[in-house]
């Protein structure tokens, strides 16, 4: 048997537990990112060397060391194999991400030392921060790629699929972080009265909708969703985004918890259908309608909502339609059958 074949088999033996450890390290990294975001949003960052940067970069270091460990274990199993050939299946981009994140971290330290600390949207669009984003995405998506390749069961349990789900959840949470200015739950919508402000608010609703529904659609292309997936994705993202404002917008967690549970119940009722069935498209229309109906109801009851029914009703409807349209495009096709 060739060395290459031995390595391939060895790489494929990376189990659920090791993927789970990768995600624990990834959580460490991303919690540090969101704490750093909270500090930036509240003017607490004056230097590169801060406690929240320590959490962020120690999380990165933990990810890097762990990926090195599992690669080394594969190298030991396949004698005389190269380091590159010993990287576990699905983790090659993760290794590249470790290198890119390291470069971004060094650059970030130099950038802050020379140019100072950015604020607001400038901080999110800083060149070094975008390099860090690139590296983080490559690291965090590794377990999903690995499990997509290795997991043969089309309908795994929630527990078994959890590392892959967390990989997807963390990826979209990071994207939501860098789009925090478009996260609708953070906006003072009742203050949007001018035409430009209202138009931006509607766009923000659409962006937030995409960040919420696309993770579900992505996983559905590979597996039948175990019960709890929608709730897990929704609450995961809501909690992390709430960190940015010290949980002052905790209502988003309640809204997305309710919506997630209802979404899980709806998907469970049609679980035996093929992923391209029209019932799934109906669910993806209803999910945004439910989320934003609860959101506008909350504004009407506890805040101020000066929008006309055409505005808030149309916003709810167009979010549902866009979600349904995406579900049509992302649904896996069954050869020889009409969709």
Q: Is the pTM of this model over 0.85?
A: yes
Q: Residue 333's pLDDT is what?
A: 64
Tens digits of per-residue pLDDT, 22-38? 999 999 999 999 998 88
Half-sphere exposure of 305 (CA within 13 A, CB side): 17
Could you say which residues of the chain have pLDDT below 70? Answer: 1-13, 43-46, 188-192, 333-339
| Residues in Cβ contact with 287 at an 8 Å cutoff, skipping those fewer than 6 apart | 212, 213, 230, 259, 263, 320, 323
Q: Are 264 and 189 in contact (CB under 8 A)?
A: no
Q: In a 3-state reduction of DSSP, which class is residue 188?
A: coil
Distance of CA 224 to the CA centre of its chain: 19
Residues with Cβ within 8 Å of 92's Cβ and at least 6 positions away in sequence, in order, are: none
**Rounded distance between C-alpha atoms, residue 31 and residue 52, angstroms:** 9
How many Å separate Cα 227 from the centre of its chain?
19
Q: Which of 296, 214, 226, 314 is nearest to 255 (CA)?
A: 296
CB 16 within 8 A of CB 160: yes
Q: What's the confidence (pLDDT) of residue 257? A: 98
| pLDDT one-digit tens code per residue, 189-223 | 666 677 888 889 999 999 999 999 999 999 999 99
State the pLDDT at residue 31. 95
Residue 321 CA to residue 289 CA, distance in Å, equals 9
pLDDT in tens, 154-191: 899 999 999 999 999 999 999 999 999 999 998 766 66
Length of the chain: 339
Rounded to whole angstroms, the Cα distance separating 311 from 313 reads: 6
């Amino acid at each position: 048997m060739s060395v290459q074949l031995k390595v391939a088999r060895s790489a494929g033996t990376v189990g659920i537990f090791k993927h789970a450890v990768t995600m624990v390290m990834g959580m460490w990294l991303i919690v540090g990112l969101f704490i750093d975001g909270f500090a930036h949003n509240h003017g607490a960052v004056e230097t590169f060397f801060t406690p929240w940067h320590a959490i962020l970069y120690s999380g990165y270091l933990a990810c890097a060391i762990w990926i090195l460990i599992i690669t080394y274990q594969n190298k030991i199993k396949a004698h005389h194999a190269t380091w590159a050939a010993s990287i576990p299946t699905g983790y090659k981009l993760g290794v590249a991400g470790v290198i890119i994140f390291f470069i971004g971290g060094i650059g970030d330290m130099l950038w802050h030392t020379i140019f100072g600390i950015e604020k607001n949207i400038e901080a999110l669009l800083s060149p070094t921060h975008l390099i860090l984003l690139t590296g983080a995405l490559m690291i965090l998506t590794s377990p999903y790629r690995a499990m997509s390749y290795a997991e043969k069961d089309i309908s795994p349990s929630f527990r078994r699929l959890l590392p892959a789900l967390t990989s997807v959840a963390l990826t979209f949470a990071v994207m939501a972080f860098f789009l925090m200015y478009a996260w609708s739950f953070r906006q003072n919508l009742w203050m949007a009265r001018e035409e430009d402000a209202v138009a931006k608010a509607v766009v923000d609703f659409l962006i937030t909708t995409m960040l919420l529904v696309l993770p579900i659609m992505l996983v559905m292309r590979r597996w039948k969703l175990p019960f709890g997936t929608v709730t897990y994705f929704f609450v995961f993202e809501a909690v992390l985004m709430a960190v940015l404002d010290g949980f002052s917008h905790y209502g988003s967690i309640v809204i997305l918890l309710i919506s997630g549970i209802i979404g899980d119940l709806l998907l469970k009722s049609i679980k035996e259908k093929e992923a391209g069935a029209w019932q799934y498209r109906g669910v993806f229309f209803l999910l945004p309608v439910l989320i934003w109906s609860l959101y506008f109801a909350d504004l009407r009851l506890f805040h101020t909502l000066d929008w006309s029914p055409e505005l808030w009703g149309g916003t709810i409807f167009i979010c549902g339609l866009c979600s349904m349209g995406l579900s049509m495009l992302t649904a896996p096709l069954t050869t020889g059958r009409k969709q």
